Amino acid sequence: MPGRRRTALTAPHGARRRAAVALAGLLLIAGCASPVRPDSATPAIRQTLDRRAAAVLDRDESAYLSAVDPAAAKLRATERAEFNNLAEVPLRSWEYRVTAVERSGSRATARADLRYRLDGYDSAPVSTPRVLELTERSGHWYVSADRPGRGGAEQLWQQGPVTAVRGARSLVLGVGQDRRGLRAIAAAEDLAVPAVDDAWPGAWARRVVLLVPGSLQAMAGLLGAPAANYTGIAAVTTGETGKKGAAPADRVIVNPDAYTALGDFGRHIVLTHETTHVATRTATSAATPAWLSEGFADWVAYRDSGRTAGQIAPELQRAVRRGELPAALPTDEDFAFGSDPDSLARAYEGGWLACALIAERYGQKRLTDFYRTVGAAGQRDGAVEKAMHDVLSTTPDDFTARWREYLRRRLN
């Protein structure tokens, strides 16, 4: 999906309601303003948060609670529960990077990035913004409130005790889920990873972290969006696109309501599709159109399924047989939330058939080369046109004409 930050969505096939959302990343503009003198309390506040972070890693509940305001009884109870909820989460690092402090007497508000890594799975920290209110008592600063910052969301351990299940290539963290169900998800993911690896050569983690909240509402809380956005959506992949090297890891967030309604085949398709987004993230950028990122993920998921084009693309097949052949490849807007479910399905199916056409006509290597070349452009203008010329020796007009003919041939 386009944009510096992408969330890829997958829902059940057939009555599927799949959506893609592009979340813009932050563009930091350097100016010439004079530096702002830090508040004198900032070092002491940092020390409080450093002690709090060390207590999480040391699994020291007493030390963790010692950083909480003694007068905030309700907060202390909440913090104690959240600390214990983390017991099974394999943390490698946990830190707060303070970005701003605003103080008024004995009270202060600190804006910080909570950065943490899961041991054995994250090559770089996952970062989430937090706003922490602090109170000074007898020369010491204590946390009196802790909430998501702008663009942040609820964390899994804030929803209840986390159960951790490890697969050969996966880590599944669940709340309100039994271990047997989480093991089944880990087993399914362990099959998805090699399927993606076979289709997408090159460096990627080959390990996936999945979060399984207790409900659709809880899933929406992890994403910081209304639950209605994810009705019928079986899984969501979050991650920052266009990053090279040690980029923050993706998380596949499973909607337990929609996922459990699927059979084994549907679950395999969902997890393979989402795992493809994990694998291709560093090759995906603002230049990558949704039809390519979503179409490629579906192509990987379905390529060895043995299903016919009509079975994979029923909505588009019905449209073609009605004489409603699409005039152009799906736009990014065609994948947006709020779209008619049938139209949304046709967008995904059209993207899949575009990638299937490239693989059939030019070969799998050209398809992956085309994907990487588009993403390497970094910006949308001219990226697809140049990649079509350099990799496929064609033009967008010629490709679109071939794609429309391909739809007629595969779906009539």
**Two tokens at 84?**
């214990």
Of the pLDDT bands very low, low, confident and very high (cuts 50, 70, 90), residue 248 is low
| Domains (range + CATH), the chain | 42-152 (3.10.450.50), 285-412 (1.10.390)
CA–centroid distance for 388 within its chain: 28
Number of Cβ atoms within 10 Å of the Cβ of 114: 22
Q: What is the mean pLDDT of residues 276-289?
A: 95
Residue 109 sits at φ, ψ, to 5 deg, of -120, 125
Which pLDDT belongs to residue 244? 52
Lowest-pLDDT choice from 235-239, 250-254, 381-385: 235-239
Residue 341, Cβ density class (10 Å: 0-12 exposed, 13-18 middle, ≥19 buried)? middle
Q: Is the pLDDT of residue 54 over 90?
A: yes
Angle in degrees, CA 376, 192, 121, rounded to 5: 70
Q: Tell me: the pLDDT tens digits for 147-193?
A: 999 999 999 999 999 999 999 999 999 999 999 999 999 999 999 99
**pTM for this predicted structure:** 0.87
Select the more confidently predicted residue: 247 or 332: 332
**Two tokens at 237?**
């992949």
Distance separating alpha carbons of residues 238 and 188, to the nearest angstrom: 19
Q: What is the mean pLDDT of residues 346-365?
A: 97
Which pLDDT belongs to residue 231? 86
**Residues 77, 82, 84, 85: what is their CA dihedral angle, to the nearest 10 degrees?**
140
Which pLDDT belongs to residue 12? 38
